[in-house]
């Protein structure tokens, strides 16, 4: 399932609904770990790998990791191919992918990060917090049905993964 939300309370309610006790959760955009703490408690037999490029994150995540042994934090930019490679050395797949990169209304970075990370890690469920994507989907009408049941767009299969990774590598480091 892919779920798109905007309100932070709806985001955290959705985490609560989606995450199971032994899930491996990948959280892209953890900031200072306020949702990471919730995720950690929801998956006591699993783990959460949390990423954020902010300089505000390391100290707060370190203190969170001292109290929650199932959290691992990486202070990295999720647009970079090397970051995806680093995560792939730790996990080959994940159960839940949770993406909250902020950026207000603009959905393009969030969608590209979703597409590349979810195609690679093939999560059961993906939760995306982004206002622009929510507006786009709810304001669109459709004459055809193309749907995927997992947390990634599996209807497009594995076609084209090398070009997608190349694109990620060339992507601007600025939002
Ligand atoms: C709205 S905050 C996340 C809030 C957090 N999910 C929560 O529930 O408290 C967005 C975060 O995304 C991070 N972010 C934005 N672009 C990023 C990128 N390319 N790589 C890693 N982190 C990024 C920002 O540093 C910021 O901390």
**Is the model's pLDDT at 167 over the cut of 60?**
no
Query: How high is the pLDDT of residue 155?
Result: 78
Within a domain: 141: yes
Within a domain: 175: no
For residue 145, the CA-to-ligand 1 centroid distance in Å is 32
Residue to substitute in 42, 52, 60 for testing ligand 1 pocket (most ligand atoms within 8 angstroms of CB): 52
Residue to substitute in 29, 76, 100, 168 for testing ligand 1 pocket (most ligand atoms within 8 angstroms of CB): 29
Domain region containing 19: 2-170
Measured distance CA(18)–CA(5) in Å, rounded: 13
For residue 77, the CA-to-ligand 1 centroid distance in Å is 10
Within a domain: 60: yes
Q: CA-based diameter of the chain, in Å?
A: 51
Residue 20 belongs to domain with CATH number: 3.40.50.150
Q: Whose CA is nearest to atom 25 of ligand 1?
A: 54
Q: What is the pTM of this model?
A: 0.92
Within a domain: 17: yes
How many residues can be counted in the chain? 175
Number of domains, the chain: 1
User: pLDDT tens digit string along 98-154?
Assistant: 999 997 778 999 999 999 899 889 999 999 999 999 999 999 999 999 999 999 998
Nearest ligand 1 atom, CA 34: 9
Query: Is the CB of residue 51 less than 8 Å from the CB of residue 28?
Result: yes
Token pair for 96? 């839940």
Within a domain: 107: yes
């Amino acid at each position: 399932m892919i779920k798109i939300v905007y309100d932070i309370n709806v985001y955290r309610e959705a985490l609560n609904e989606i995450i199971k006790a032994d899930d491996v959760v990948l959280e892209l955009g953890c900031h200072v770990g306020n949702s990471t703490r919730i995720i950690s408690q929801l998956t006591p037999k699993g783990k959460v790998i949390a990423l954020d490029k902010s300089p505000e994150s390391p100290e707060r995540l370190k203190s969170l990791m001292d109290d929650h042994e199932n959290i691992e934090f990486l202070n990295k930019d999720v647009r970079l191919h090397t970051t995806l490679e680093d995560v792939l050395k730790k996990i080959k797949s994940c159960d839940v992918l949770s993406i909250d990169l902020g950026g207000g209304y603009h959905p393009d970075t969030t969608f590209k990060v979703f597409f590349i990370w979810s195609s690679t890690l093939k999560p059961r469920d993906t939760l995306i917090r982004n206002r622009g994507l929510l507006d786009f989907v709810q304001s669109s009408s459709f004459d055809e049905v193309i749907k995927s049941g997992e947390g990634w767009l599996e209807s497009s299969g594995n076609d084209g993964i090398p070009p997608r990774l190349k694109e990620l590598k060339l992507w601007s480091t600025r939002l």
